[in-house]
Chains A and B, each alone.
Chain A
Amino acid sequence: MTAQEVRLCGLLLREHFGEVVEKVGTHLLRSGAQNLRTIIHETGISLDLVKKSLCVLVQHGACVFSSGRKGPGSPTEYQASSDRILRILRYPRYIYTAKTLYGDTGEIIIEELLQRGHMTMSSNVKTVADRLTQNMEEGRSMDYSEVSSAFSNLVETHFLQRCPPLAGLGTTDASTPATPATPANPTTPSFPDCYKVPHMTLIGRGKRQLSSEDGEEQRNAKKAKLDSDTHGDEGIYWQVNFERFHLHFRDQAIISAVANKLDQTSSEIVRTMLRMSEVTTSPTATCTKPLSANEIFRSLPSSYNIPRPILDQYLTLLVDDPMEFVGKAGESGGGMYVVNLHRALANLARATLESVVQERFGSRSARIFRLLLRKRHLEQKQVEDFAMIPAKEAKDMLYTLLSQNLVQLQEIPKTPDYAPSRTFYLYTVNQLPTARMLLQNCYKTVANLIERRLYETKESKRLLEKSQRIEAILASLQASGAEPEQLTEVEEMITAPEKQQLEALRLHINKLDSAENQVDETIFLLESYVNSTATPAS
């Protein structure tokens, strides 16, 4: 974990869980696995608070516990991981995706699960139904079964998965997908290897119809404690399967890249191919299983009524395109085609790097950068010739890129004494290390954005508190039925310049938040690329 990652994780923990959890979390990130006593001793926080913080971290998957390294009987050790904490940046995207795929119900299910970390299905369904009921008109309410079916849809498509059982000291194994369930009888909670075995039964707790009376009660008793009815699924906790969402994002990125580069029809063809390969492709596969042109033709959506020869032409175009999204794997069945997933990710990352260079240094520097990416190693003279840029400016640009570490210099000596006059100096770009460096820059950027937002909020704290108080007064006055004069009197307690200041503050904070979301998109692309190169080919 780099310093930038730890800093960003600390800020995210602070914003979502408070400063105590931030201290404990960053300490664990920096020091590796530690037991409880050591944590208390080194952070200086009380036992009570450390325990609670560790609870929160474990519940949200940011920390795992395992038996001590000194063998059985040694105290439990806790270890935090930064990847899981960095996911917090992407939560809005997960929630939005669930909305597009499964509607409002799916959206609220994912949102509740992300807020709580782990939840049983029954408590999730209840909470979601309550929330949805509150937004409905008077007298209408949300049926539990509707929420349950949305939940099971999410599980079927692997967007949700079970948490590994807490019995013993098991390490979390978050990469196990959970396959579809048969709506069935409640199972016994003590299901041994449930995180290894893909089968998992959906807990059908008797179809409780949420009548309108119950709906109103639920609405009033918003802060009621969790009722102690058992629904047969105690001990079976669910969590969001981030990897599945990431696969979805990756597919979306590929499809939109094809749409931007070629046209809508090509992107629909690629979308069809990806959809057909969803269940047959493993998450770390280099490319999808080969699909024949006949199969693709049959599976195209009916709205795209293109004749068969045109489809073949489109496929040939896709194969010939330099972005190499689609490859040809054989001739049988009218031509076997695959989507090159890893190469697509590499090309998307490369496009990101080129775009970064272009926006920071101008289009001519970007031309040099692209040239070096294509030609690998070039001497200074060759760079000037190929890029068609005057020597003096080319030298300047190269040196700027070199000082920013986007371009590297490779020395090839002709003689063993490395004399400068007898050595080749070749410029080169290494895509993977450069992508890693930019990824760290992205983490630093987001951390800076968050800090700036916190600073802005702190600067205007007094004003914000005043406006909140006045809003509260207004709300209570309105509820108790006050006259409009009283209301305007209270509203005028905020002066016009203060209102302007508040408006400007709101605008700044929205900009900073929006920027964080956008940088996270870049982070996703670069991370996917870096991770795709790391996995060994199976």
Chain B
Amino acid sequence: MAGRGRGRRTMSFSIDAVGINRGDSLPPSMQQPTPLFPVMEQKPLPLAGGEEAEYLLALKQEFRGAMRSLPCFIQPTAAHRGQSHFHLNCVLCQTLEKKEEQESSEEEEGEEKKKQEEEEAEGEEEYDEEEFEEETDYIMSYFDNGEDFGGDSDDNMDEAIY
């Protein structure tokens, strides 16, 4: 990629076209990242005010607030079985709810079993971890990094230490 011409100093763009003349210094080098918000030449127009705009604003905020209290707003914790006050007046959802109630009773039994299994697995895992930590083939002092060396005898500083 460095110039094809042998020994000749050519660049892919002609130096006049870019606008750099002889003797001009290069622009100052960038020493920090570009600003977070670019500078605007023109200030933006102010927001349109007026009665209609304010009423629309109030409608918007009320709508948002109202949506939060409706059953359509799903919290991640609403998955607790049997506790969701999730009444949608939609045929699709009503059949879904019935199925949910059927399944939730099955789920309860399934979850209890799962919990027991998980505890056993965890116990095993912990056991494995401890095993790995203690049983190594190397003496633990092999892994010392020498910090303790030479800190013992501070009494006789006359003797040279070889």
Alpha-carbon distance between A516 and B56 when the two chains are bound, in angstroms: 11
When the two chains form their complex, are residues A166 and B92 in contact, meaning their CB atoms are under 8 A apart? yes
Residues in chain A near residue B75, CB distance under 8 A: 18, 20
When the two chains form their complex, are residues A123 and B89 in contact, meaning their CB atoms are under 8 A apart? yes
Stretch in contact with the other chain, from A43-51, A242-250, A290-298: A43-51
Is B153 in contact with chain A by the CB < 8 A criterion? no
When the two chains form their complex, are residues B86 and A92 in contact, meaning their CB atoms are under 8 A apart? no
Whether A46 contacts B79 in the complex (CB less than 8 A), given A59-B72, A91-B60, A226-B87, comes out as: yes
When the two chains form their complex, are residues B55 and A17 in contact, meaning their CB atoms are under 8 A apart? no
For B, the interface residue count at a CB cutoff of 8 angstroms equals 36
Alpha-carbon distance between A59 and B72 when the two chains are bound, in angstroms: 9
Cβ 8 A contact of A96, one of B55, B66, B76: B55
Residues in chain B near residue A118, CB distance under 8 A: 90
Interface set, chain A 86-103, CB cutoff 8 A to B: 91-93, 95-96
* Chief secondary structure at chain B's binding surface: helix
Interface set, chain A 20-73, CB cutoff 8 A to B: 20-21, 46, 48-49, 51-53, 55-56, 58-60
Is B91 in contact with chain A by the CB < 8 A criterion? yes
When the two chains form their complex, are residues A518 and B100 in contact, meaning their CB atoms are under 8 A apart? no
When the two chains form their complex, are residues A20 and B89 in contact, meaning their CB atoms are under 8 A apart? no
When the two chains form their complex, are residues B74 and A515 in contact, meaning their CB atoms are under 8 A apart? no
Cβ 8 A contact of A513, one of B48, B61, B88: B61
Residues in chain B near residue A232, CB distance under 8 A: none
For A, the interface residue count at a CB cutoff of 8 angstroms equals 49
Residues in chain B near residue A362, CB distance under 8 A: 41-42
Whether A115 contacts B100 in the complex (CB less than 8 A), given A96-B56, A226-B87, A235-B91, comes out as: no
Is A360 in contact with chain B by the CB < 8 A criterion? yes
Whether A55 contacts B57 in the complex (CB less than 8 A), given A115-B67, A359-B44, A362-B41, comes out as: no
Cβ 8 A contact of A16, one of B47, B73, B78: B73
When the two chains form their complex, are residues B72 and A117 in contact, meaning their CB atoms are under 8 A apart? yes
When the two chains form their complex, are residues A111 and B63 in contact, meaning their CB atoms are under 8 A apart? yes
Residues in chain A near residue B55, CB distance under 8 A: 96
Alpha-carbon distance between A51 and B99 when the two chains are bound, in angstroms: 11
Cβ 8 A contact of A115, one of B57, B66, B87: B66
Interface set, chain B 27-75, CB cutoff 8 A to A: 41-42, 44-45, 47-48, 52-53, 55-57, 59-61, 63-64, 66-67, 70, 72-75
Residues in chain B near residue A19, CB distance under 8 A: 76
**Closest chain A residue, CB of each to CB of B100:** A48
Alpha-carbon distance between A55 and B66 when the two chains are bound, in angstroms: 19
**Closest chain B residue, CB of each to CB of A234:** B91
Cβ 8 A contact of A18, one of B73, B86, B87, B90: B73
**Closest chain B residue, CB of each to CB of A225:** B87
**Closest chain B residue, CB of each to CB of A118:** B90
Cβ 8 A contact of B59, one of A60, A92, A510: A92
Alpha-carbon distance between A511 and B59 when the two chains are bound, in angstroms: 14
Alpha-carbon distance between A439 and B81 when the two chains are bound, in angstroms: 44
Residues in chain A near residue B88, CB distance under 8 A: 55-56, 59
**Closest chain A residue, CB of each to CB of B49:** A514
Is B96 in contact with chain A by the CB < 8 A criterion? yes
Chain A residues engaging chain B, CB cutoff 8 angstroms? 15-21, 46, 48-49, 51-53, 55-56, 58-60, 91-93, 95-96, 111, 114-120, 123, 166, 225-226, 235, 237, 359-362, 510-511, 513-518
Besides A92-B63, A115-B70, 11 other A-B contacts (C-beta < 8 A): A17-B67, A19-B76, A59-B88, A91-B59, A111-B59, A166-B91, A361-B42, A362-B41, A511-B47, A513-B57, A514-B53
Q: Which 8 A-B pairs have the closest CB atoms?
A: A92-B59, A92-B60, A92-B56, A18-B74, A16-B67, A20-B74, A55-B93, A48-B79
Chain B residues engaging chain A, CB cutoff 8 angstroms? 41-42, 44-45, 47-48, 52-53, 55-57, 59-61, 63-64, 66-67, 70, 72-76, 78-79, 86-93, 96, 100
